[in-house]
């Protein structure tokens, strides 16, 4: 808790008091759109792009959250500012937006004043996400193909970022069964590579970057950043139908997501990719990313890893004290 607050449907409340009703559509149906953004040097990265995607998801779900995109953006900055004061300077933040349709109408009599969408904006110190991730920048990740397929867009469109994520969870569970810590990349029903449960995938062959066509995937904001950085670096990048064959021929494989930006694949389906180390294209993109955001995310994650045990101790202590006084 440590003094942080959450924007909760128009009010700012302490984190532990930001409770959603058990009758909310989010719990009943997974009927909720969301976004994950991060800061670099305290500044949100591509916040407007993330919110564009959130409002795209809301349009698909036919939810009017009651705030314009500009109002959501302004409230995000207020939430961040309120919480930044609770941490040491230099801490970066995870920013999460969650919007559900609100309580299910059949239980509406519980709210005689009327129901409305549940809108939350929360920010969390990035130390817990990145401190636990730090070693992966060195080791890379082992990518496997789970039995769970990606859903084709004509059934459930992955371009909308929603909390209906059981297929992602299944992929994760199956990935763990294949190998502890393995990262599962789902294929679509046509047999083409799609995405991981929280990341986009790229292959590098003979100096060209290949990535799945955007049909059945979330079009990651970090994926967009790879396109920008590749263009800036003069590295050709192509969207294509990719399969196991292409992945096993790749010189490099990498994954992208908002929190860690980019991490290399050490192996694919049990076979080492290149020499298993971070390859030259991943190196160049990582360096270009650092320059772009003004933060060395790799050394930052290592610093967070060192500081994490102490941070957790303080956090738990502060929460114990807060609970004791309530």
Ligand X SMILES: Cc1ncc(COP(=O)(O)O)c(C=O)c1O
**Which residues in this chain contact ligand X in the complex, by CB under 6 A?**
36, 195, 197-200, 218, 220-223, 256-258
Residue 45 is given by DSSP the state S
Secondary structure (DSSP) of 156-200: S-TTS-BS--HHHHHHHHHHHHHSTTPEE-EE-TTS-EEEBTTBE
Helices 280-293 & 221-233 angle (0-180, nearest 10)? 110
Q: How far is the CB of 185 from ligand X (least distance, A)?
A: 10
Q: How far is the CB of 2 from ligand X (least distance, A)?
A: 25
Q: How far is the CB of 158 from ligand X (least distance, A)?
A: 6
221 versus 295: smaller Cβ distance to ligand X: 221
Question: Which stretches of the chain are assigned E, i.e. beta strand?
Answer: 5-8, 11-14, 32-40, 43-44, 93-100, 118-125, 141-144, 183-184, 186-187, 193-195, 200-205, 208-212, 237-240, 252-257, 261-268, 271-272
197 versus 265: smaller Cβ distance to ligand X: 197
Q: How far is the CB of 29 from ligand X (least distance, A)?
A: 18
118 versus 225: smaller Cβ distance to ligand X: 225
Residue 24 is given by DSSP the state B
100 versus 256: smaller Cβ distance to ligand X: 256
199 versus 311: smaller Cβ distance to ligand X: 199
Q: How far apart are CA 73 and CA 67, in angstroms?
A: 9
HSE value, Cβ hemisphere, 13 Å, CA-based, for 306: 5
50 versus 266: smaller Cβ distance to ligand X: 50
Q: How far is the CB of 241 from ligand X (least distance, A)?
A: 18
Q: How far is the CB of 256 from ligand X (least distance, A)?
A: 6
36 versus 77: smaller Cβ distance to ligand X: 36
Calculated CA dihedral for residues 256, 257, 261, 265, nearest 10 degrees: -40
Q: How far is the CB of 196 from ligand X (least distance, A)?
A: 7
H helix intervals, 30-147: 47-61, 69-84, 127-131, 136-139
Cα end-to-end span (Å), the chain: 13
In the block, residue with structure tokens 């029903």: 189
C-beta nearest to ligand X: residue: 220
């Amino acid at each position: 808790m440590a003094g942080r607050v959450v924007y909760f449907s128009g009010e700012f409340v302490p984190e532990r008091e930001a409770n959603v009703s058990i009758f909310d559509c989010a719990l009943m149906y997974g009927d909720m759109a969301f976004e994950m953004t991060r800061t670099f040097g305290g500044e949100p990265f591509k916040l407007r792009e993330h919110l564009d995607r959130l409002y795209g998801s809301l349009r698909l779900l036919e939810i009017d959250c009651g705030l314009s995109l500009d109002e959501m953006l302004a409230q995000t900055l207020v939430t961040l500012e309120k919480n930044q004061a609770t941490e040491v300077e230099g801490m970066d933040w995870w920013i999460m937006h969650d919007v559900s349709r609100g309580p299910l109408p059949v239980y509406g009599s519980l709210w005689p004043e009327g129901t409305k969408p549940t809108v939350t904006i929360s920010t969390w110190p990035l130390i817990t996400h990145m401190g636990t991730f730090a070693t992966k920048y060195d080791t890379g990740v082992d990518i496997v193909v789970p039995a769970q397929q990606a859903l084709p867009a004509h059934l459930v469109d992955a371009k909308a970022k929603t909390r209906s994520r059981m297929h992602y969870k299944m992929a994760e569970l199956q990935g763990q069964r294949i190998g502890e810590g393995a990262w599962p990349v789902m294929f679509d029903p046509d047999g083409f590579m799609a995405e991981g449960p929280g990341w986009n995938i790229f292959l590098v062959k003979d100096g060209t970057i290949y990535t799945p066509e955007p049909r059945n995937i979330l079009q990651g904001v970090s994926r967009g950043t790879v396109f920008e950085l590749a263009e800036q670096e003069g590295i050709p990048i192509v969207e294509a139908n990719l399969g196991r064959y292409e992945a096993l021929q790749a010189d490099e494989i990498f994954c992208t997501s908002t929190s860690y930006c980019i991490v290399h694949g050490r192996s694919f389906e049990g076979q080492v990719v290149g020499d298993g180390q971070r390859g030259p294209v991943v190196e160049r993109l990582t360096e270009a990313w650092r320059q772009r955001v003004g933060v060395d995310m790799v050394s930052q994650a290592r610093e967070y890893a060192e500081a994490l045990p102490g941070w957790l101790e303080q956090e738990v202590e502060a929460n114990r004290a807060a609970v004791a006084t309530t």
